[in-house]
Amino acid sequence: MVTQTYKRIPVAVLGATGMVGQRFIDLLQGHPWFELVALAASEQHGGRAYSEATRWRLPNSEMPVEVASLPVVACRPEALPGVKVVFSALPGEVAGDIEEAFARAGVAVFSNAKNHRMAPDVPLLIPEVNADHIAAIAFQRKERGWPGFIITNANCSATPLVMALKPLQEAFGVRKVLLTTLQAISGAGYPGLPSYDILDNVIPYIGGEEEKLESETRKMLGSWQEGQGFVDAPLAVSAHCTRVSTREGHLECASVELEREASPEEIIAVWEGYRPLPQQLGLPSAPEQALIYRREVDRPQTVRDRDAGKGMSAVLGRLRPCPIFSYKFVVLGHNTIRGAAGGSVLNAELCYAQGLLADL
Ligand SMILES: N[C@@H](CC=O)C(=O)O
């Protein structure tokens, strides 16, 4: 259990006006270790108050009064003096250079953007899965000469899949994964898809998503080797990604081939008994149970289960034998919480607990 009581670290959100930016703002309200002191977005907002620059879009909540009058400044380090940590919800078109400018200026960047995920010196982090990959930060800082650093979270559909696979990999080995996703419309940001395209419809294509899912899964389930870098897990992953007309929560149907035989009871016991580092450390955003297995025949369901563990748990169900691979199952993750802002906040908490934010 982490019990230090440092002064809270001043943090900012980049890309604060979008959906994921708003998730960051929401999750940082009253955070015990991080104090949200500034908001940044595109230059067009020119310092206007947050309440004038954007409308609050998160369901069942109002814009926090603490941020309503904050000016929306430009995404430049000099516009955010005193800020030691930034959470980036920037779109991929601009995230790359901006995030690097912050790391160069001595800021720790926790990014939701795709740009640096597959870089050979950037941890693609899910604290329940590959907390040891933060060892790459020392290498990144040295190689790039940065006093700060960049850590990214994973693609929102890779996140619950990898959380489900990690304990299976440890206990039985995993050789192959075949996956079909049913991804919510919020994954496309706001305003996202035209209603005429998505209502009464399923779209069997999300640009770049299948490639990300396949490569990110191998990186996260792989290892960080001093002197060698990231080594991918020797795992074949094939993904079909579809967009469905749910608002939040990516539901995924997976078939896996294991290296060793296992009974369904053993697999469920491994999932239910999984208690990785964030839970051991009691990190503020870590759900009590990283993985929840539902025994009902028709769960998990997107609308009923996406908020489990305040949107930070992966919810599993329907484990059954697969006539082609070893087993098949369903997994669900909240895409804008665990798969986006919540994932990055947990990454920052792990770094805080491991002392990586102390020397910024
Ligand atoms: N790329 C993802 C984003 C996650 O929510 C998607 O399109 O769903």
In which element (H, E) is residue 218 found?
A: helix 209-220
Q: Is 253 a catalytic residue?
A: no
Residue 155 C-alpha to ligand 1 middle, in angstroms? 7
Distance CA 315, CA 318 (A): 11
Q: Ligand 1 center to residue 232 CA distance, Å? A: 23
**Single-letter code of the amino acid located at 215:** S
Residues in contact with 29: Cβ distance below 8 Å, sequence separation at least 6, in sequence order: 36, 64, 66
pLDDT in tens, 273-315: 999 999 999 999 999 999 999 999 999 999 999 999 999 999 9
Catalytic annotation on 351?
no
ipTM above 0.90, yes or no: yes
Catalytic option among 116, 133, 250, 334: 250
Describe the crossing of helices 342-353 and 19-28 by its angle, rounded to 10 degrees.
40
Question: Is the pTM for the entire model greater than 0.90?
Answer: yes
The answer to whether the CB of 130 falls within 8 A of the CB of 230 is: no
**Minimum CA distance residue for ligand 1 atom 2:** 187
Residue nearest to atom 1 of ligand 1 (CA): 187
How many Å lie between the centroid of ligand 1 and the Cα of residue 157? Answer: 7
Question: Residue 5 pLDDT > 90, yes or no?
Answer: no
With a cut of 70, say whether residue 111 has pLDDT above it. Answer: yes
Distance of alpha carbon 18 from the chain centroid: 16
Q: Are strands 149-152 and 229-231 parallel, antiparallel or unpaired?
A: unpaired
- CA nearest neighbour of 247 among 302, 293, 304: 302
Of 45, 116, 133, 156, the catalytic one is 156
Is 206 close to ligand 1, i.e. is its CB under 6 Å away?
A: yes
Query: Residue 4 pLDDT more than 70?
Result: no
Residue nearest to atom 7 of ligand 1 (CA): 187
Closest ligand 1 atom to 336 CA: 5
Q: Which numbered atom of ligand 1 lies nearest the CA of 208?
A: 1
Task: Please give the radius of gyration of the chain, using alpha carbons only, rounded to the nearest integer.
Answer: 20
The side-by-side arrangement of strands in the sheet containing 236-243 is 236-243, 174-183, 250-258, 327-333, 314-321, 291-294
Could you read off the pLDDT of 192-222 as tens digits, one per residue? 899 999 999 999 999 999 999 999 999 999 9
